[in-house]
Structure 1
Amino acid sequence: MADDSDDKTEDPTQKRLDDALEKGDVAKSQEVNTWFIIAGGTLILSTFSGSIGGGILMPLRNLIANAGQLRTDGAALLALGNTLSYAVLGAIGVPLLMLALAAIAGNMIQHRLVWSSESLKPKFSKVSPGAGFKRIFGKQALANFLKGLFKLIALGAVMMAVLWPERDRLESFLRFDPSAILGVTTSLTLQLMGAVVAMLAAVAIADYFFQYRQWFERQKMSLQEIKDEFKQSEGDPHIKGKIRQLRQQRMKKRMMAAVPNASVVITNPTHYSVALSYDRGMSAPVCVAKGVDNVAFKIREIAKKHDIPIVENVPLARALHATVDIDEEIPVEHYHAVAEIIGYVMRLKNGLGARRM
């Protein structure tokens, strides 16, 4: 039996992508999260290492210096523990908050915030031997293996590049007091972490594009799925209403563009306007625009701007608006009334032309 994925050759629709997002199925790279956390840790170490050390050092120094005078009964020991806890929390609180924000940013930069319980629902595919075999020996597993191997080699190369030139100085540290080498080790640690961050940035970018491509391939649809979705969308009253609104907007735009080419506009001054076009050789005048209220006013406004004659005829305007559609010839029963108006307009135009000559 052929794999169903072979039929899914079409790019996913926007609805399919939105549905996937609602279910919590998003393009996500764990390497991006890892990079944000390590980069945040490096920034915290370079910025807050002194304040963290000082904030923890002073309470511990006082504790050791006054160890003989401390009470160790139940209440006093509990109070001492609380004091030390508050001191440590005060020293590392802001850095921990920054680290948490970095972890959240690693997710937010890849996709918008999603609340979904879909991943918590039991699925047969999670315990299926076939699905498990695919996860172990599939494309994703191979990519994870190659990625892990590359990270291991790259991390070793980075550590070697940073620490190898310092090997002689590192050996001499054994003879120094720990407090004397603290600044040097902090500097080396920051160099090492900076190099690791730079290396992981390349891994994170490449992995994100790979994960996005895998996710996009999973969302692909067959032709039948696209047809079914279209039918379902067509039945949605909101979609129908939107389509109807777009059609009306297009028709109105086309009508207004045709008004300057009309021969005459027949109006009921307060409500109806019908624009007719007629040239010699035509079997009957054609309605190029019609409307009521605001649309009727707009038709008259455009007609005035382009010197199109406007004729007031209340019953004819109402009748034409009710019986003729856009781009259709007027009904036979209105031939006589419209012919009189067209003739009057042509005589008027010819009279004006004769006077100008």
Structure 2
Amino acid sequence: MAEEKPFEERTEQATPRKREKAREKGEVPRSREITSIIPMWSVLLYLFFGGAVLHSLMNYVRNGLQRSAELSITESSIVEVFKADSIQFGMLMLPLFAVILIVTISVHFLQTGFLLSAAPLSPQFSRVNPLAGIKRYFSLNMVVEALKGLFKITVLGTVLYLILKEQMFKMPLLVDMSIQSVQAFSFHQIYRLFLISAVVLTIFAVADFAYQRWYFGRNLKMTRQEIKDEHKEVEGSPLVKARIRSLQREMARKRMMQEVPKADVVITNPTHFAVCLKYDLQGMGAPKVIAKGQNLVAEKIKEVARKSGVPQFEDKPLARSLFRLEIGEEIPEVFYKAVAAILANVYKLKGKGVHL
């Protein structure tokens, strides 16, 4: 594997081709922070919009507390209570899990789009290389991740401490409250803590997503030489393209030479141009150019024509004019008279007639 170039040398933005190749490998900018806050926001939205659910959850807790005081503890009673509570709790939590699943999938698509790649699952021996592991451990990204985690815990802990400190003086008052009031107060404070924590973590998640996009783009940057190499890979090097064009011309020339024996006549310059004409009275409206050449190619056409017994007529102006036509093109009407005279001589020799 080629050695990775230093960031200082990679000054050019990644090309669309490199971005597409990275995407095929499953390499896209994504933030784990955004994924981590999904369950928290799902719970908050679930409780905020589901008043009936919150009421059922409070009843579930209250009934559990009441039953625990009244229940005679036996093996069968514990099993029955466990079954009933499990079913009730599952029914309460099922919509929440559905919300978490839907939101998780939605956020994933918002971050990466539709992406299916088996490349991350393939074995990569660099991952088990101790030296590579040490490099990753002390990389810029790992340092940033560590500082980011420390900063997040510090800020979140400070915010929660200030909120709890504000509510501490209310704690002694709970002793004189009813169970319903204690429940309402507790749920309100928990919901408030969840909401503030979610807001703080969302700010971190948005900042982290912006950082991940920047870091991903930075890693994809290319050197000028890499861009040139990619261009050569896509378009082909000038030498290769020239060689391909040369081979294509050679193949076209060979195919053209195979048509020379089928010509009725070759009109020459006589040294610089040679144009082969064919005329089929039944299938053509006018004589057609089936081969042509200049200089060395013209000499080759005349040589093949001699070996094949194709008549050659010298007419410098006509040969030069017909050479401008494309292979497969019928001659214009302006040349009918001159070509007809030549073909008349050819067909006279062959015992045919010509009508243009």
Tell me the alpha carbon deviations over residues 132-172 of structure 1, each in whole angstroms, 9 at most, x when there is no partner.
22222221112112211221221123213423332211232
Could you tell me how far apart the structure 1 residues matched to 2:333 and 2:110 are?
Answer: 71
Deviation at 1:178, TM superposition (A): 4.1
Residue pair 1:32, 1:208 contacting (<8 A) in 2 also: yes
Deviation at 1:203, TM superposition (A): 0.8
Deviation at 1:90, TM superposition (A): 1.1
TM superposition score normalised by structure 2: 0.58
2:24 is aligned with 1:19: no
User: Alignment partner for residue 52 of structure 1, among 48, 57, 60?
Assistant: 57
Q: Which residue of 2 aligns with 1:8?
A: 10
| Residue 126 to residue 111, structure 1, CA distance change in 2 (3 Å) | same
Tell me the alpha carbon deviations over residues 283-335 of structure 1, each in whole angstroms, 9 at most, x when there is no partner.
xxxxxxxxxxxxxxxxxxxxxxxxxxxxxxx979x989x99xxxxxxx73589
Q: Which residue of 2 aligns with 1:173?
A: 174
Could you tell me how far apart the structure 2 residues matched to 1:182 and 1:81 are?
Answer: 22
Q: Which residue of 2 aligns with 1:223?
A: 224
Deviation at 1:56, TM superposition (A): 6.7
| Residue 131 to residue 174, structure 1, CA distance change in 2 (3 Å) | farther
The one-letter amino acid paired with 1:208 is: F
Could you tell me how far apart the structure 1 residues matched to 2:332 and 2:106 are?
Answer: 72
Could you tell me how far apart the structure 2 residues matched to 1:66 and 1:167 are?
Answer: 33
SS in 1 for 2:210: helix
Structure 1 range deviating more: 51-60 or 10-19: 51-60
Q: Which residue of 2 aligns with 1:182?
A: 183
The one-letter amino acid paired with 1:25 is: E
SS in 1 for 2:112: coil
Could you tell me how far apart the structure 2 residues matched to 1:206 and 1:71 are?
Answer: 53
2:76 is aligned with 1:72: yes
The one-letter amino acid paired with 1:89 is: G
TM superposition score normalised by structure 1: 0.58
2:321 is aligned with 1:332: yes
Q: Percent identity?
A: 23
Tell me the alpha carbon deviations over residues 215-248 of structure 1, each in whole angstroms, 9 at most, x when there is no partner.
112222333433343344337xxxxxxxxxxxxx
Structure 1 range deviating more: 149-158 or 49-58: 49-58
Q: Which residue of 2 aligns with 1:288?
A: none
Could you tell me how far apart the structure 2 residues matched to 1:177 and 1:196 are?
Answer: 28
Deviation at 1:66, TM superposition (A): 7.4
Could you tell me how far apart the structure 1 residues matched to 2:24 and 2:56 are?
Answer: 43
| Residue 33 to residue 10, structure 1, CA distance change in 2 (3 Å) | same
Residue pair 2:26, 2:119 contacting (<8 A) in 1 also: yes
Tell me the alpha carbon deviations over residues 247-292 of structure 1, each in whole angstroms, 9 at most, x when there is no partner.
xxxxxxxxxxxxxxxxxxxxxxxxxxxxxxxxxxxxxxxxxxxxxx
Deviation at 1:210, TM superposition (A): 0.9
Deviation at 1:18, TM superposition (A): 1.7
Could you tell me how far apart the structure 1 residues matched to 2:197 and 2:218 are?
Answer: 31
Residue pair 1:56, 1:88 contacting (<8 A) in 2 also: no
Could you tell me how far apart the structure 2 residues matched to 1:27 and 1:175 are?
Answer: 53
| Residue 222 to residue 159, structure 1, CA distance change in 2 (3 Å) | same
Q: Which residue of 2 aligns with 1:300?
A: none
Residue pair 1:55, 1:91 contacting (<8 A) in 2 also: no
Q: Which runs of 5+ in 1 are unaligned?
A: 236-313, 324-330, 339-357
Could you tell me how far apart the structure 1 residues matched to 2:165 and 2:66 are?
Answer: 36
The one-letter amino acid paired with 1:158 is: V
Larger C-alpha radius of gyration, 1 or 2?
2
The one-letter amino acid paired with 2:92 is: A
Q: Which residue of 1 aligns with 2:145?
A: 144
Q: Which residue of 2 aligns with 1:257?
A: none
Could you tell me how far apart the structure 2 residues matched to 1:170 and 1:101 are?
Answer: 38
Q: Which residue of 2 aligns with 1:111?
A: 112
Residue pair 2:10, 2:223 contacting (<8 A) in 1 also: yes
- Paired positions, count: 251
SS in 2 for 1:4: coil
Deviation at 1:109, TM superposition (A): 1.9
Residue pair 2:58, 2:183 contacting (<8 A) in 1 also: no
Could you tell me how far apart the structure 1 residues matched to 2:69 and 2:172 are?
Answer: 31
2:122 is aligned with 1:121: yes
Q: Which residue of 1 aligns with 2:38?
A: 36
Could you tell me how far apart the structure 1 residues matched to 2:183 and 2:94 are?
Answer: 23
| Residue 144 to residue 71, structure 1, CA distance change in 2 (3 Å) | closer
| Residue 57 to residue 192, structure 1, CA distance change in 2 (3 Å) | closer
The one-letter amino acid paired with 1:41 is: V
Deviation at 1:106, TM superposition (A): 3.1
